[in-house]
Each structure stands twice: as structure tokens, then as C-alpha cells.
A and B are shown apart, each in its own frame.
Chain A
């Protein structure tokens, strides 16, 4: 397991580094100067120059890059230009809420998608099957911001049950603040999961080994749990893994609507302020997150399907 992880890391590392160089260079070519960004409308040519010097932006490009890579080796991601604190600190602050929300959205999608898909599969052809299918289709066709805005107004104003923004205090508060954003984020994936669950349950139900188990006289529920569900869930895991990217995109929009200070917001602000070290830090974190997520998906595969060689 660890060998596979390291193997993957070694594979990804050169391309990650390449991507980093690309982003590094492009950021400095692109119009918009961090010093000008920070000074805003009070900027003057002299003050911008002074700030550029203070931030070390007037040194040659290769020098800046070497310093940055040197810092990386020491696990120092540099200091944010716009907020004047270590990049690592901002990333740590933002990573938690984003991961929580991504997790929340995934949980929501599975909690809604799997049962509805199973129900639809078991009642194939009947009205409830049609209903679930329609809802699932609507789920994947409606943009995430509509969910977010509607949920916001309904549950925080009409029925004042949940907080409108922020991260919440303590475990209870955090969970309460997660409910609506997770729902908004997870709806799209819930639709996908529902559809996949339905089709894969149907598929497994038709397999020989299931019929054999029934013929042997095993209890239907037992058969269901042990054989059908386990195998049916494999494509679900696949689909969830594949759509992590889209989920994270939804997280960016939802974080804005519910004012959660996560990576999405951080990236928007970093881009706006041309905060190079911060943008680079976020790029690095995204790549690492993907590796981790892929490893997680692989892990789930081995748990669900022992036939897959470890």
C-alpha cells in the first residue's frame, strides 16, 4: 500500500514540478502587479516600486524561482503578499472547511443517491422508478448556485433553523453550518450516484452468482447485503472518484454563497490580488489532494472487491 502511494508520488512529482514551473512563470508574465493590487487606488509609481522591492519582486526570475523551490524543500511555502502571513497558515485555515464541505457533499450524495437508486432498481418499470429517474436527471441538470440560493433563503430566513454563513463554533455548530452547503454541493453528484446505483444493482441482480445464491436458499436480505450491494457499489465509487473535480468546483461556488472561508475563496482572492506564493501554494495542495483522493478510491476498491489485486 505504502509502496503504491510512493510509486504514485514519484510518478506525479516531475509533472507536478513542471506544472509548478509553468504556473510560476505564467503568473509573472500575466498582467496585473501584486504591489499595484495591494495599494489599490492609492497607488503611485513610487509607492508601487517601493512595495515591489519590499516584496522581493524586482529580483531576476530565476532567483525568485530558486528561492521558492529552496523554501519548498524546507517545507516553507513562502509568505502571502496580500495578507502578510505564511502561505502555509492560510492554506491550513482554508483546507479544513473545504475538505469538510467536499466530504459533506459526498456523504449527502451517497446518502441520497444510493437508497434512491436501490429503490428504483428494485421497482424497475413502476412509477417510483420513473420518479426517481426524473429527479436524478433534474439533479444533474440544475446548476449548483440555484440549489445554494434557494436553500439559503428557505432554511435560514423562512424557517430560521440553520445558520446562513460561517463555519460555526464547536462540533454541533460546525455540523449545523455544514448541512445546507453540503446539500447544495451534493445534489449534482446525488443524481449521478442514483443513476449509477440503479443500473449497477440491476446488473448485479441479473448475474449468475446471485441467482445461484438465491437458488441455494440463502435469505434474500443476506444475499442482498453481501453480494448485490457490495458489487453494485464498485461503479459508485468510480463515479464519485471521477467527479471529485466537479464537486470541488461546486464547493467554490457554494463557499461563496454561504460565506465559508475555504480554498475556493482563497483562490479567488489570491488570483485577484496576484498573490503569487499563495496561488502556487494552492496549486500544490490541489495536486496533492488529488493523489490522496485517488489513493482513497483505490483503497475502497480493494475493500469492496477482493478480486482486485492489491
Chain B
């Protein structure tokens, strides 16, 4: 995971030609699909497509679900990252691997695994249903859980990397001055890793916003309830490709705006 590091002061390096050419090809690889999407966009009917109630419902649901998933990921993922970075206990590396697994697991498989855990006949889901009457599949809560499952690892590894690379002498100093562990965590540790926290949260949010496979598998697809933007795009592709392109552009614009905006504001990108 590429994290912003403090830039060393040195003379501007002159780039060797092969590097420039390969970097250009690499950049083009990302830019061309975007251009393709922009060229195929039916600009005249775009506003009409955007104004439809289904699109607005999908957008609203996507924002709700992705921000909720990020909030859950922050409250569970930061303690997890701290545990991985600061504690040593048997099985730590295995546990760490398991929590990062959703990053490489096909999301559809993740969705099936979630069903087996939180579904009606799942390990925990059956108990949730009979004891509390909570049903997660086919609900907005289910969509949020699917997004959290896939997106939280991005936060965990980013924050863990930040905690590992920070200078722990500040914590030691605070403690010798009489601060409690809790105060150290809140007043020293977390402020010091704020760039990693923000980067992790943004990555997590962006991944949650684009989540498709686990959501459609675990939460299903119903307009206004579990049909997030990526699901709406996929289904529109079948019947109305123009609408699918417009929807994708909205998704792209929202993510791009947030990624660029947050980067400049909090990560001190130069």
C-alpha cells in the first residue's frame, strides 16, 4: 500500500527516457478507458437519465451505505489495526491474514460466506433471527455489512502501516509525564497517525462505494433497499446501456472528487 511519505529534500531527478515512456503507457492505460466512457456518454440525454427516481434512489442508497460502512470500519478497524501493530500474541499473523483476505477474495465468494454466517440458516444469522428478529439478507443493513466486509481491510492495513511507522517515543514521553493509556491513545497516537487514518478511511469509503459482488450476493438487488449504484449500472447495462454509462460517470465523478479533494486537503500531497 503506497502511503504518502515525507519527501526528502534533494535535487529534482532527471528521468531516464525508458521510464518516461513506460510511465506514459501506464498512465494511458488508466486514462483511455475513462476517455472511452466520456466519448460514449450521451450528453444530451444525460440529465434526463439522472433525474429518474431509480437513479436518485440508487445514489442516495450508495451514499448511505458507503458512509455507514466507513463508520463501522473506523470503529472496528482502528482497534484491530492497533492490535496488529502493537500487540504480540500467538496466531497474530494468521488473524491478520484472515482480516485482509476480503481484499483478494472474489467478492461473490465473500457474499456467499456472509450468507453462511449471517444468513437465515447461517452460523449467527439463525440466532439473530430467532432471538432478535433481525434479518440481514435483502435489507439495507445487509448491503452495509457486505460493503464493510470488503472495504474494511483497506482501512486496517493503512492504519496499521501508519502505527508501525510512527515514532513511538512521543507515546513513551506522554506516559512518563503521567498520561493514562487512554489519554495517550486519544491525544498522542491517533493525532500522529491522522494522515493514515484519513487515507484509510477514504480508500475504504471508495471501495465500499464501488462494491458490487458481495452486495448483490448477500443483500440481493431491490430498488431503494439494496440496489446501490454499481448494481444499478450492471442491470442497466442489460437494457439501457446509455443509462449505465451515465450512472458510471456519476459514480466516477463522485469518487474522483472525493479522492482528489481529500488528498489535497489532509494528506499534504505536493
**A-B complex is real:** no
Residues of A within 8 A of B (CB): none
Residues of B within 8 A of A (CB): none
